[in-house]
Structure 1
Amino acid sequence: MTDDFARDWQAWHDRREAALAEPHGWLSLTAFHWLDAEPAALDGLPGRWSSDGTAVTVTAAAADRLVADGAPIDGTAVLPTPVGPAWIDYGGKRLELAPRGGRHAVRVRDPLAPTRTGFTGVPAYDPDPAWSVPARFAAAPERLDVGSVRPGVDQSLGTLGTVRFDLAGEAQELVAADAGDGRLWLLFRDPTNGAETASFRQLTTAAPGPDGTVELDFNRALNMPCAFTDFGTCPLPPGPNRLTVAVTAGERKPVQ
């Protein structure tokens, strides 16, 4: 292993751990509440909450300290989520209004969550250049239903095609989802899952070259958010995305 390779990987790993430890990042999740059409109270939160599938309605008093878009909620507020989550501040907490499959959930993000305050880093295999392997991408866009780690949450992936490569002399193939800007997002399983690593991991690549070539650096395989919290809704890997070779590279199972 070259010194430059090890230094680059360590800098990347340090940035990854710092992002996880942000005050309202994935380690701060403490609750997940489904909303129904009828207004209802939520455990540990003030006000009454409901959703029609396109927007969240919250009724609260100013004394409840719920703040949306910088203004206290005093009465009834309707908060649409056209392209992603909306947010409400509640003291030091942030409440994520998360659209999921035609419904809404409220996820509580608390900087004082034990998963965050007790965080000591993400275990990882030692970096090894041998786990950076060439692959070839073949475009075949489609949309795949994949489900999720959370019952009742359906997920689908906009896939771009497949990548083919060899590991330890064995041919492998993964369906690649769209990571934006032409980059590929790979959700995969391998024989290390369960014992050494989480139930599946993710890898993002650069955009493939004009001839379809792309590098897969498994040293940068990451745990999904659901490896750190019970309140994730991570999509599952597409059915074919199961490698036959144990990938002893990248992040290992988090310490619980």
Structure 2
Amino acid sequence: MTVQDSPTGNDTFATEWEAWHQQKDTALAHEHGFLAVTGLHWPTTVPQRFPDTPGTWSTGDDGVTVVLDDGEELVVDGAPVRGRHTFTDIPERGGVNAGWGDAVIEIAKRGGHHVIRPRHPRHPLRTAFTGTPAYAPDRRWVVTGTYAPFTEPRPTTVGAAVEGLQHVYDAPGSIRFRIDGRALELTAFNGSTPGGLLVLFTDATSGVTTYAANRALRVDAPGPDGTVVLDFNRATNLPCAYTDFATCPLPPAENRLPVAIEAGERIPHERRA
């Protein structure tokens, strides 16, 4: 178990939370997930080699180019690639994966810059992973709030786990709620599901029992009257909580909550070590 206290009896709430948390950790520990990343490389116009990738890499107006040595091969979209190859049209916050033996080389764009991120299944961070510590699930931290859409989406610039990097997101609105009678508000970004929302936040536990830089909470699409449910038991770490090879966004300044959200995922064992 990775929670402080095990669920008891037939507590459906706790059982469903535990299944969700195990599924989340399983995805994190995928053979080519973030725990498998062995480096964060920033190609330039000058071709250069990286210790955990084949070939030499450079970037330019056309995209990211790799020149493979004799005997080296990548697999791109199921087809073998040898010699010179250019990865074009990589969108912001998007990327492509190229296979290299049992590894995957991620070519992506973050904050307007191309990045190369090799993912090796045998990376010790992945093979030694035992799960993410978390607070025991508690219904107290399931909070009803109200979504207030902005007249127009607001471009919102936030920092990143990598110094000097910035991300820009369109914020469609904010979520207002109360904890212990205190009125609070979080700027929301678009989520990964239709109508869903994502909030990045810190609180009074950040840097004490939870990861200092950020946590994330996914929120289902608001109801017809704007009602949303914030289940802080499902507040998760972003990849930067586990590895220095992530470019995760930081919360907007207004999302620094002045209360202690003693729910959700805690500081990973890897960071405490």
TM class, shorter-length: over 0.9
Q: Report the counterpart of residue 164 of structure 2 in structure 1.
A: 152
Number of corresponding residues: 256
User: Unpaired segments of 5 or more residues in structure 1?
Assistant: none
1:88-167 matched pairs, under 5 angstroms: 88-140=98-150, 141-167=153-179
Instruction: Indicate conservation of the 8 Å contact 1:62/1:72, yes or no.
Output: no
SS of match in other structure, 1:7: helix
Tell me the equivalent position of 1:3: 11
d(CA) in 2 for partners of 1:220, 1:10:
10
Instruction: Structure 2: state its 5+ residue gaps.
Output: 1-6
**Residues 99-140 of structure 1: per-residue CA shift (max 9 Å, x gap):** 123321100111111111010011010101110000001001
- Check whether the contact 1:182–1:207 (CA below 8 A) recurs between aligned residues: yes
Q: TM-score, normalised by structure 1?
A: 0.95
Q: Name the counterpart of 1:232.
A: 246
Question: Which is worse superposed, 213-222 or 89-98?
Answer: 89-98
Match of 1:68 among 70, 76, 80: 76
Q: Are the counterparts in 2 of residues 54 and 102 from structure 1 also a CA contact under 8 Å?
A: no
- Alignment-derived partner of residue 45 in structure 1: 53
Q: Does 1:198 align with 2:211?
A: yes
Structure-1 separation of matches of 2:254 and 2:195: 22
Query: 2:267 aligns to what?
Result: 253
Kept after mapping to 2: 8 A contact 1:189/1:237: yes
Amino acid at match of 2:90: P
Report the CA distance between 1:62 and its aligned residue: 5.0
Counterparts in 2 of 1:53 and 1:232: CA distance versus 1, 3 Å:
farther
RMSD: 1.5
Equivalent residue in structure 1 for 2:191, among 175, 179, 191: 179
Between structures 1 and 2, the one with greater strand share: 1
Q: Is residue 172–residue 243 contact of structure 1 (8 Å, CA) maintained in 2?
A: yes
State, as a whole percentage, how many aligned pairs show the same letter: 45
How far did residue 54 of structure 1 move? 5.0
TM-score, L = length of structure 2: 0.90
